Amino acid sequence: MNRTIVASECGHFYATIWIDFMSFKAVRLGGKRLQRCPVCRKRAWVSPADTSRLTAEELRQAQQTLDSPIP
């Protein structure tokens, strides 16, 4: 399953399964979701990140930081 790089309101980037109009582990509000950040382990609003604005290092770290395999 493809993963999407997301940006959390706490400033972290990570990869998550993002399926439009579907989520079992998050509360959805428009284009954002409230879910647990795997970096700081707090609940935070997340939205798809503009990967063209990330550095190569930020993108590499985000791709290696995964949340749970449940959408």
Residue 46's pLDDT is 95
Can you list the positions of beta strands (E) in 1-71?
4-8, 13-16, 27-29, 32-36, 43-48
Q: For residue 71, is pLDDT > 70?
A: no
Q: For residue 11, is pLDDT > 70?
A: yes
The pTM (predicted TM-score) of the whole model is: 0.86
Contacts of 8 (CB under 8 A, 6+ apart): 14, 37, 39, 40, 44, 45, 46
Ranges of each domain in the chain = 4-64
**Dihedral sign for Cα atoms in the order 46, 49, 53, 54:** positive
Single-letter amino acid code for the residue at 46:
V
Q: What are 20-61's pLDDT values in tens digits?
A: 777 777 888 888 999 999 999 999 999 999 999 999 999 999
Single-letter amino acid code for the residue at 34:
L
